[in-house]
Amino acid sequence: MHMIRRVLSFRIANPILSGLYYSFFWMMLGALLLSLLLWSSGMQEQSLSRYIYLVHAIAAAIGGLVAGKRSGKKGWYHGGLTGVVYGVLIMVIGFLALDTSLRMGDLLLLGTVFASAAIGGMFGVNIRNNL
């Protein structure tokens, strides 16, 4: 039984990649919740911008927390780097899928995800050291 559990489980050793994995997972869950909110209520798509920033900030914070926990040191660095890579990937996906250009909102998104992921990384290091 132990052999099966070891084969079926995998662990991403790189803290940045594991943080990105968790960030994108939580971003997808947040997008699903926002879609359900939009579908079930009379809300318009134009009024979702604050919620979108909130979903990205929460996803980046969780990714930074995981990156800081996996690294064990320099949580702000690993978390912030995870946030920057996450933000750049979101902007590249938006550019390729929607043919958008770089706007001030994109720089605000990049700053938001950097800050929230760096704070999450600091908490992640401290969670690892205290447990």
pLDDT given for residue 79 in this prediction: 93
Segment 54-64 mean pLDDT: 95
How far is residue 8's CA from residue 14's CA, in Å, rounded to a whole number?
Answer: 19
Residue type, 49: S
pLDDT given for residue 43 in this prediction: 79
How far is residue 125's CA from residue 123's CA, in Å, rounded to a whole number?
Answer: 6
Q: Which two structure tokens, joined as six digits, stand for 111?
A: 């700053």
User: Over 90: is that where the pLDDT of 20 sits?
Assistant: yes
How does residue 32 score in pLDDT terms, banded at 50, 70 and 90? very high
Mean pLDDT, all residues of the chain:
86
How far is residue 59's CA from residue 55's CA, in Å, rounded to a whole number?
Answer: 6
Domain boundaries, the chain: 52-131
Segment 100-104 mean pLDDT: 81
pLDDT given for residue 47 in this prediction: 80
Does pTM surpass 0.75?
A: yes
Segment 62-68 mean pLDDT: 94
Q: Which two structure tokens, joined as six digits, stand for 14?
A: 């790189």
Q: Which two structure tokens, joined as six digits, stand for 90?
A: 């979101």
112 touches 57 (CB < 8 A):
yes
pLDDT given for residue 59 in this prediction: 96
CB-side neighbour CA atoms (13 Å) of 67: 34
